Structure 1
C-alpha cells in the first residue's frame, strides 16, 4: 500500500517498470490512462501501452480531474497512473495561447494534484504513478514548453515529497531513490 512514484526521461523504460511492479502487486489493477490521441504518433503510443496490459486489468481514461482516478479505482487493490506528464500536457494543450502561464490556471492544476494526493493518502490501495523528469533537460524554447516544464516540475516535486517510494529509471535501469 502507499504511493510509488516512477520517474525518468522519455523512453527510459519507466512505464514498463511500473507495469511490472503493478503485476507483482495485484492481479486486479486499474490502469489510469491520461494520454489522448492528438495525432497518429500518440495513437501508436497508446496502442503499444494497450497491447502490453493484461486483459484482466481495468481501464479508466481521465481528462481534467486526476482525482477521478481513485474514485474509479475503489474496487482495485492497485492503481497504475500513466502518466502525470501526459496529464499535465493535456491540461495545458487545451489552454488558448493568450492564457499561457496564467497563474490561476497553474494554481488550479496544482490544487488538483494536492486533492489527488490527499485522496491517495486516505486510500488503502497501492498507487503507482509514472511521470517524466523535466529537470535534466535544457530550457524549452517556447513559452508553452517553459510553462509545461515549470508546472510538471512542481507536480513531480509535490508527488515525490508525499510518495512512500520513488524510483528513477535511467536507460531501463531502476534506481530506488526514496523509501
Structure 2
C-alpha cells in the first residue's frame, strides 16, 4: 500500500493534482466523494469535479461513512479520496452545538480516522487522500468553525504522519513535503 497525502487551500488545485496522480496509475480507479449538494453553489462544485473525472472511474458517494464501505477498495487499483475535509465537515454538522466543547466529540472523529488508517495499511492499493489545509487561515468566529478547524488540523496531522508521500498545493503549484 502506498498512501499519498495532498493538502492545500480551497481552490488551490489539490484535487486536480490528485486526479492527475490517479490517472498516471494503470488500472482501475475508485473515486470516494463526500460532498453533499446543500445548495446551488455546492451542486456546481460537485458537478465540476464530476466533469473532470474520466468516465471509466467508479464513484462511491457515502458522505458520512469513512470506514464502513472500505471493503469496496479491494476491487480497485487506485483509491482517490476527495476530500476528507468534506467528510469532517459532515461529521461536525451532525454534532449538537452544546457538545462542541466536549472532548468526546473530537475523539469520536479522530478514532474513526485512526480506524480508517489502520485498515488501509492492510490494502495493496495506492490510496490518494485530499484534505484542506486549515492552518494558514484565521481563527473562525463561530464555535462550530473553531471546532471544525481543530478537528481538521488534527486529522491532517494523523494522515500526513502515516503517509508514504505528501504534497502541498498552493496557487496551482505543487511542493513535495515527504
Q: TM-score, normalised by structure 2?
A: 0.96
Q: Indicate the residue corresponding to 1:75 in structure 2.
A: 75
Q: CA deviation at 1:38?
A: 1.2
Contact 2:30–2:76 (8 Å) recurs in 1 = yes
Deviation by residue 1:28-87 (Cα, 9 ceiling, x = unmatched): 100000111111111110011011111111110123231235312211010000001111
> Which segments of 5 or more consecutive residues in structure 2 lack a partner in the other structure?
none
* Structure 1 residue runs without a partner (length 5+): none
> What secondary structure does 1:73 align onto?
helix
For structure 1, which segment, 63-72 or 52-61, has the greater mean C-alpha deviation from structure 2 after superposition?
63-72
Aligned residue pair count: 178
Which contiguous aligned blocks of 4+ residues in structure 1 show a shift greater than 4 angstroms?
none
- Return the alpha-carbon distance in structure 2 between the equivalents of residues 95 and 30 of structure 1: 29
Deviations 1:118-137 (A, max 9, x none): 11111100000000000111
SS at match of 1:138: coil
Match of 1:102 in 2: 102
Distance 1:172 1:101 in 2: 36
> Secondary structure in 1 aligned to 2:66?
coil
Is 1:34 the equivalent of 2:49?
Answer: no
List aligned pairs for 1:120-159, cutoff 5 A: 120-159=120-159
Contact 2:27/2:76 (8 A) holds in 1: no
Structure 1: distance between partners of 2:137 and 2:149: 10
Q: What residue number does 1:160 align with?
A: 160
2:34–2:64 Cα contact (<8 Å) kept: no
Is the CA contact (8 Å cut-off) linking 1:34 and 1:62 kept in structure 2? yes
